[in-house]
Amino acid sequence: MDLSLSETELAFRDEARAWLAANVPAEPLPSMDTAEGFVAHQEWEARLAEARWSVVSWPREVGGREASLVEWVLFEEEYHRAGAPGRVSQNGIFLLAPILFDHGTPEQQQRFLPSMATGERIWAQAWSEPEAGSDLASLTSSARRDEDRGGWLLNGQKTWSSRAAFAHWGFGLFRSDVAAERHRGLTYLLFPLDAPGVTVRPIAQLDGEAGFAEIFLEDVFVPDADVLGAPGDGWRVAMSTAGNERGLSLRSPGRFCAAADRLVELYRNRSGFETGARAPSSTTGGDHHRDRVVDAWIAAQAYRLYTWGTVTRLAAGGDVGAAGSVNKVFWSELDIALHETALDLLGPEAEVESAWLDGYTFSLSGPIYAGTNEIQRNIVAERILGLPKEPRGAAR
């Protein structure tokens, strides 16, 4: 693993750092899970896109800079270090776009990617169902062929659909062949959330905001032009998305390194501790809290180095593969540890402090979304360690 940067990469990082320093809002935007905050985040996406920072690794003709993977990681580090707003377009940019590039038609790429880059069209992830969450292959929402109109009729219910409360389009899997095996006969479809037959019902989170929603579909017509990949090949297409979500693209190390730096700063502020001093104030919990802060910072740095190792492997022609499951378990547990330590440092003040408290409530969902950590541990056990498969119906 070579961590040295070229002159071009250093110039790219410096340009990103300068732009972010001049443009990141001085005050946090309202939550993107509110109507007001959703619009504010769309405006931020448009501002990023105007300067071509919204999708740095994409081709120039669809809004990108054709940045290398190394430059993408550098941008992510600078983005989070600058405290820039969360990305309301992340479902589209990080989950759907890689699949559109690999499996989409040229017409689909031209129709969907530019509006994704500018934040004009926000996408909701519509995979989970009431009886099919991490066990995605058991989904029952259907896509029935409509030969007369040249398309498909969608029926069923999706749930825990991120951003669906305010988003414009959804992407998900539907069973198009009920006689096929679990992983076969599935089709990947794109559909507008304001189409006739679609009902979106927001789900309130722990904080009362609608970060998720249920989507009910009743004879929703989707033309053939909005099938992603071949009909019946949806599982293979979707697994490409899952690999991105669990692996490198969804949770870049810059996010956790920035949080770890803020945690160190919080510890210093709470204790009045200066570099080189021998003993922190007892109000910070002494060695116990100090050790937890150090452990969280080391874990964030370890994740950063692991990611750079992944970047090196990908640059040499390798892939993420099942190692994405290792990533997913690690970052989801690291996120909780970072925020729990911060709340313990704050003590009773944590009840009214918003940034760390909001981060903590969100971190609790980490072990569940993007495939539960139990599922990821099974993948690590079976595909990386070569251990026996878990018996079906085994009690935990």
Task: State phi, psi for 384 to the nearest 5 degrees.
Answer: -100, -45
**DSSP string covering 222-262, please?**
EEGGGEESSTTBHHHHHHHHHHHHHTTTTS-HHHHHHHHHH
Backbone angles phi, psi at 288, to 5 degrees: -60, -50
Q: Looking at the DSSP assignment, which residues form a beta bridge with residue 171?
A: 125, 190
Whole-number Å distance between alpha carbons of 239 and 37:
31
Q: Are 24 and 82 in contact (CB under 8 A)?
A: yes
Distance of alpha carbon 272 from alpha carbon 204, whole angstroms: 39
Provide the pairing of β-strand 142-146 with 151-158.
antiparallel
Q: Hey, what's the torsion of the CAs at 41, 355, 57, 160, to 10 degrees?
A: -70
Provide the total of helices (H) and of strands (E) in the chain, helices listed first: 12, 8
| Strands 186-192 and 169-175, sheet pairing | antiparallel
Let me know: does 371 contact 242? Beta carbons within 8 Å.
yes
Q: Tell me which H or E stretch contains 376.
A: helix 373-379
DSSP β-bridge partners for residue 155: 142
**Look-up: residue for tokens 């599982």?**
235
Task: Round to whole Å and give the CA distance between 237 and 232.
Answer: 10
* 245 in active site: yes
Two structure tokens written together for 95: 């989950």
Round to whole Å and give the CA distance between 4 and 1: 9
Q: In Å, what is the CA distance from 29 to each residue of 163, 199, 202, 393?
A: 16, 28, 21, 45
Contact 96, 240 (CB under 8 A): no
Active-site entry in 15, 107, 245, 274: 245
Give the residue numbers annotated as catalytic, written as ranges: 245
